[in-house]
């Protein structure tokens, strides 16, 4: 198959990524970072499907294994050893995500009783909710491409653990809340505030996993996320998702594209959410476009935030026509559903 120049360039960038991070050729101490690695898995799978390159599929498969072996285990400079879950080597290998996955930050996590330093916290390890949901999505993509349900099972095991440890019922009020960042072993919060879009991201991602599990699993009870989904839907109720952060806007559009996919497939019970998400994204886009940020020097901007926006905009190209066809009545075949999302 003839490759276009953008596809060739993107593939070269991903080959360089594999080399620099110790994926290919394999390095004794690979540099794994959960957020970037989740997108990388999806990229490699996309190349594998679009240009029929088995080497890209092999990189996706190897990256999943490397992430689990590195970020599913305690750091090399931590006195604790082995899997974060506490499982022995054999059981940990069978359930590599059940204890969660580290971020992969360079500095060690903040210990209990150690004073909070907002600037340093950005560089410290732990577990981020919104990184974990991205990895769940990547694992689910692996299952869709390979037909192997084990990846979805790992994603569901991760989802159940994450929901149990990140959410809590506050002393006042009946609506659950969640924390933004937890310790590596998920025993205490590192940043107790809730991310603006974390409940939404969780709801959409968990709904994806529930739909996939219903299609492939014979272990219905072990793969059931309906209780967690109900909690997240309650947390989403009445929230304003508006943001001027380009990464956040891109995330809203990405979630909107996945909501449409689920609605087409009949796997989403909250169709009214699509309108509030797309409205917030449109409002944020107008504000961002008028902010002058894109006219600022590159050195003053964060590339990954604008990359996140570009991914969301790609999905918006088909979300918008679907949304205009009365979102409650979308039927299979109404809208093109991209398998690359």
Summarised one tens digit per residue, pLDDT across range 280-298 is 999 999 999 999 988 999 8
The per-residue pLDDT for range 303-324, each reduced to its tens digit, is: 889 999 999 998 887 676 555 5
The per-residue pLDDT for range 12-47, each reduced to its tens digit, is: 999 999 999 999 999 999 999 999 999 999 999 999
Query: SS3 of 305, please?
Result: helix
pLDDT at 320: 61
Q: What are the φ and ψ backbone dihedral angles of 246, each rounded to 5 degrees?
A: -60, -35
- C-alpha to C-alpha distance for 167 and 109, rounded to whole angstroms: 20
Cβ neighbours around 1 below 10 Å, total: 7
Helices (H) and strands (E) in the chain, counts: 12, 5
**Residues in Cβ contact with 122 at an 8 Å cutoff, skipping those fewer than 6 apart:** none
- C-alpha to C-alpha distance for 330 and 91, rounded to whole angstroms: 43
The per-residue pLDDT for range 69-95, each reduced to its tens digit, is: 999 999 999 999 999 999 999 999 999
Contact 71, 32 (CB under 8 A): yes
Contact 158, 202 (CB under 8 A): no
């Amino acid at each position: 198959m003839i490759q276009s120049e953008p596809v060739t360039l993107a593939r070269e960038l991903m080959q360089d990524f594999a080399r620099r991070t110790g994926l290919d050729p394999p390095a004794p101490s690979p540099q794994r970072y959960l957020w970037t690695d989740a997108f990388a898995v999806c990229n490699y799978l996309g190349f594998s499907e679009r240009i029929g390159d088995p080497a890209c599929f092999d990189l996706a498969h190897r990256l999943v294994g490397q992430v689990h072996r590195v970020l599913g285990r305690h750091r090399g400079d931590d006195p604790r050893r082995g899997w974060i879950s506490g499982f022995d080597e054999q059981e940990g290998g069978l359930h590599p995500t059940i204890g969660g996955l580290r971020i992969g930050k360079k500095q060690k996590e903040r210990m209990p009783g150690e004073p909070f330093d907002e600037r340093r916290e950005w560089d410290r390890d732990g577990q981020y909710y919104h990184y974990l949901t991205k990895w769940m999505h990547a694992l689910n993509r692996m299952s869709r491409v390979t037909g192997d349900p084990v990846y979805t099972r790992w994603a569901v095991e991760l989802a159940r653990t994450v929901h149990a440890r990140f959410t809590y019922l506050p002393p006042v009020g009946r609506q659950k809340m969640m924390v933004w960042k937890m310790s590596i072993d998920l025993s205490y919060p590192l940043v107790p505030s809730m991310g603006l879009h974390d409940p939404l991201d969780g709801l959409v991602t968990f709904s994806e996993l529930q739909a996939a599990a219903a299609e492939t699993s014979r272990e219905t009870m072990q793969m059931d996320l309906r209780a967690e989904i109900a909690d997240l839907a309650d947390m989403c109720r009445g929230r304003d998702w508006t943001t001027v952060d380009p990464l956040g806007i891109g995330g809203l559009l990405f979630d909107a594209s996945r909501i449409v996919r689920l609605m087409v497939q009949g796997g989403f019970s909250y169709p009214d959410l699509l309108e509030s998400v797309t409205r917030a994204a449109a409002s944020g886009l107008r504000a961002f476009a008028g902010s002058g940020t894109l006219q600022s020097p590159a050195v003053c901007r964060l590339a990954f935030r604008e990359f996140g926006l570009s991914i969301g905009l790609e999905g918006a190209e088909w979300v918008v026509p679907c949304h205009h066809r009365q979102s409650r009545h979308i039927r299979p075949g109404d809208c093109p559903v991209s398998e690359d999302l």
